[in-house]
């Protein structure tokens, strides 16, 4: 079981808000580094990231178009974190 403290949660929300751009390759290298650093230390965000990365990969393999996040994915991920 992972236990969140409020500070950690705030950082996670920050990371999550940038994750779409990260997966899209739109973040500056420096911010990518911060995000990767957080992912290496935060199992919850790793799970979210894995899910998102797989979703994006699948989506791109099906549609050769610029990505729009499937509706509700981000919302579900945030909800999941809030439950912890
Ligand atoms: Zn996190």
> What's the pLDDT tens digit per position in 41-74?
999 899 999 998 888 888 878 876 555 666 677 7
Residue 14 half-sphere exposure toward CB, CA atoms < 13 A: 13
**Model confidence, pTM:** 0.61
Measured CA to CA in angstroms, residue 59 lies from 15, 75, 77 at distances of: 22, 18, 17
* Rounded distance between C-alpha atoms, residue 82 and residue 77, angstroms: 9
Q: What is the dihedral of CA 40, 35, 74, 64, to 10 degrees?
A: -100
**Ligand 1 centroid, distance to 64 Cα (angstroms):** 30
**Ligand 1 centroid, distance to 59 Cα (angstroms):** 24
Which carries the bigger pLDDT value, residue 30 or residue 84? Answer: 30
**Ligand 1 centroid, distance to 35 Cα (angstroms):** 9
* Rounded distance between C-alpha atoms, residue 13 and residue 57, angstroms: 22
């Amino acid at each position: 079981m992972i236990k969140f403290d409020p500070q950690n949660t705030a950082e996670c929300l920050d990371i999550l808000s940038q994750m779409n751009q990260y997966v899209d390759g739109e973040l500056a290298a420096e911010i990518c580094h911060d995000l990767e650093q957080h992912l290496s230390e935060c199992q919850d965000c790793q799970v979210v990231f894995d899910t998102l990365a797989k979703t994006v990969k699948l989506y791109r393999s099906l549609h050769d178009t610029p990505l729009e996040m499937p509706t509700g994915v981000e919302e579900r991920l945030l909800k999941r974190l809030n439950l912890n």
